[in-house]
Chains A and B, each alone.
Chain A
Amino acid sequence: MIYAVVSIAILMTMVLAVARAVKGPSIYDRVLAANMFGTKTALLLAVISFLFDRMDFLDLALAYALINLVGVLAVLEFVEGRIESGKGKLDD
């Protein structure tokens, strides 16, 4: 019961993150929303695995927590590469 309530709360936050990703005026808002969505997914997976009482599903949350970082670091490298090669900043 408590797990269902918590997972509904996390799902509503994911809806808010998608709203920010769709609405965000600049690109960095969308990257922020994508990263936030990723960590919420890891939390949701952990809570749902307790809700359905399948403890071996915690491996997915662990994999997800490790992999989430790579996307944002790739964005940072992309932006730096553009600034160094002189193409200017990313415009929306």
Chain B
Amino acid sequence: MTIVFALFLLTLLVVTALAIVRTKNLFVATMLLSIFSLLMAVNFFILDAADVALTEAAVGAGVTTVIFLSALRLTSQFERGTLASSRWIAVIVVVITTVLLISGTINTPNLGDPNAPVHQHVAPFYLENTEALMGFPNVVTAVLSSFRGYDTLGEVFVVFIAAVGVMFILDARQGTGPEYELPVDKGLKHHLIPRAVGGLLIPFMLLFGLYVQFHGEYGPGGGFQAGAIVATAFILYAILEGERTALKAFSRNAQMALIIGGSTLYGAVGVVCMLKGGTFLDYSVLMEDPVIARQVGIIIIELGVGMAVCGALLSIFHSFAARKPVEHAK
């Protein structure tokens, strides 16, 4: 059954990718990219990777499409043509990379092969010890937050760097000329139906984001997904009410505070663990019972991750959306 699904989905993936590359209209490419993202999410789902599928659906089809559209507002709609010579160089590079990738991965074990090296001692260790050491069933969250906690700390810092990078490129000069004024836009205020439905949906999205955040130990979920869903709720508010009202509700400083607060919270948990006598990010020293202590540590760092991701996505969106488009020759 998985083979049939995979055949359909991977063929659609190739077709969509070819269509994205061939079109010259950037708006069309954005819409096809959201379809591509959804195809990847369903692919992850049939491979049984539910956490990754949830993240891909929340970030790829929601936030990324909106960020691309806000960026398209600032530039022209069609791609400028490329030279014929550089096109041939691109084709040659792609062919060489494809051959290298295929020849490099052709000898890896089949999907789900029980004799693969990773299934000999790494995977059984995590599968057997999660319930005993942590007390909850979701192995992905246990690996992400506790067994490989340093890697997740690095990921939070990468998200931080991404937000700061976008701010450097787009917001660096906070001047006072007319081009830095916030555009006065009405959002979609005069459309009654989206406003009414959006007003019904936003509280549920926030509630669902909180559910995903705290339910990450028992089902698919966790900090990254929750941050993306809460950010989508605020982006929906910004689309419906306009930039000015949205930035009054949740200002740029508040978004930056969320990013900094989230990363600091994660690092602070590690430092507190060190102060209590364990190594960095060893949660078992936080309380008397190590199982409960690990659960408490995981909840706090997932909160930090969720805050950082939400703040970063909102910050990147507002960096694009708050910028006034400059008149350019088409």
Listed in ascending order, the chain A residues whose CB lies under 8 Å from chain B are: 4, 7-8, 11, 14-15, 17-18, 21-22, 27, 30-31, 33-34, 37-38, 41, 44-45, 48, 51-52, 54, 56-57, 59-60, 62-64, 66-71, 73-78, 80-82, 85, 90-92
Contact = CB atoms under 8 A, between A and B. Distances in A.
A48 to B, nearest CB: 7
B297 interface: no
Contacts of A76: 188, 191, 194
Given A18-B15, A56-B219, A76-B188, A63 B58 contact: yes
18 contacts: A17-B35, A21-B16, A27-B28, A27-B31, A31-B31, A34-B34, A48-B5, A57-B50, A63-B212, A63-B225, A64-B57, A66-B201, A66-B204, A71-B34, A73-B198, A73-B239, A74-B66, A78-B72
Interface string B200-240: 01001100100010010011110001000100100110011
A77 to B, nearest CB: 5
B65 interface: yes
Given A48-B5, A67-B229, 4 more contacts: A21-B32, A41-B42, A59-B212, A71-B34
A63 B221 CA distance: 11
Contact of B57 (A30, A67, A77, A81): A67
A58 to B, nearest CB: 9
A77 B5 contact: no
B69 A18 contact: no
Interface-centre pick from A44, A48, A74, A90 (highest chain B CB count, 10 A): A74
Contact of B27 (A15, A37, A51, A90): A90
B88 interface: no
Interface residues of B, number: 61
B185 A81 contact: yes
Contact of B61 (A7, A51, A67): A67
Interface string B178-195: 000000010110010010
A83 B220 CA distance: 42
Contacts of B8: 11, 14-15
B65 A71 contact: yes
A14 to B, nearest CB: 7
A81 B236 contact: no
Contact of A70 (B46, B212, B239): B239
B65 A63 contact: no
A87 B139 CA distance: 52
A90 to B, nearest CB: 6
B270 interface: no
A60 B50 contact: yes
Contact of B62 (A31, A41, A67): A67
Nearest to B137: A56
List of 8 A-B pairs having minimum Cβ-Cβ separation, nearest first: A67-B62, A56-B219, A74-B66, A22-B19, A71-B65, A34-B31, A30-B31, A11-B8
Given A60-B45, A60-B53, A90-B77, A70 B62 contact: yes
Nearest to B1: A4
Contacts of B58: 63, 67
Interface string B233-271: 001100110000000000000000000000000000000
